[in-house]
Amino acid sequence: MSTYNSNLAWRYATKKFDATKKVSDKDLETLKEAIQLSASSYGLQPYKVLIITDQLTKEKLRPVAWNQSQITDASHLIVFATINNFGEENIKEYIENIGTTRGIPTENLQGYFDMMNANITPLPDAIKSAWTAKQTYIALGNLLSAAADLKIDTCPMEGFEADKFTEILGLDKLGLTPTVIAPIGYRAEDDETQHYKKVRKSSEDLFINI
């Protein structure tokens, strides 16, 4: 088994963090880059990622996250939030980014813009919200894997009140909706969960070869 897979086997959803240990700035930059490099539909990345270190803010968020101690004890709290009403203007920004990054006149990308705009902008709100939320989970997966590779603990969490997070963090003013969160840091020595054997489906049960 590769070191990468060994590190994935090492990781678990950390239930208790050591509040005295902090993720270094260097490692945080590595994790941010891993999120930045995540795949997304068309490469659009229809989300923003909040990195919360302010303890007072974390204290405010804890009661609306089922009072889970990870919120306040972890080194950083990562909040993945989708961009509301994602559509034509966001796609235009992406096209401009492609043009700048690859040295391509944006008029040469008109066909690509038209295709994405036709497929995304007219979507009903509920379907569009589900689509943008799915993209955040791809980025979350990259974070979890990259953190495990650095032996940094994580705990992906859906147990929070999105409307209260929106209110506390002022996300409505930013046009964002929180979808999933992930405290990161280092496990406490007395977190018994770390000693549980990992339970996963067998290869025979999980994979279908055709």
pLDDT tier, 81 (very low <50, low <70, confident <90, very high otherwise) = very high
Q: Mean pLDDT in the chain?
A: 97
Within 13 Å of residue 9, how many CA atoms lie on the same side as its CB? 7
Residue 53 has pLDDT above 90, yes or no: yes
Selected from 3.40.109.10, 3.30.460.80, 3.30.1330.60, 1.10.3720.10, the CATH number assigned to the domain covering 20-38+49-85+126-186 reads: 3.40.109.10
Domain locations along the chain: 20-38+49-85+126-186
Count of residues making up the chain: 210
Residue 86 has pLDDT above 70, yes or no: yes
Mean pLDDT of 21-45: 98
Mean pLDDT of 74-79: 98
Q: Residue 41 and residue 1: Cα distance in Å, rounded?
A: 31
Percent of the chain with pLDDT over 70: 100
Mean pLDDT of 177-196: 98
Q: For residue 147, what pLDDT is reported?
A: 98
Q: For residue 2, what pLDDT is reported?
A: 74
Within 13 Å of residue 200, how many CA atoms lie on the same side as its CB? 9
Mean pLDDT of 56-62: 98
Query: What's the predicted TM-score (pTM) here?
Result: 0.96
pLDDT tens, position by position, 165-179:
999 999 999 999 999
DSSP string of 138-167, one letter each residue? HHHHHHHHHHHHTT-EE--B--S-HHHHHH
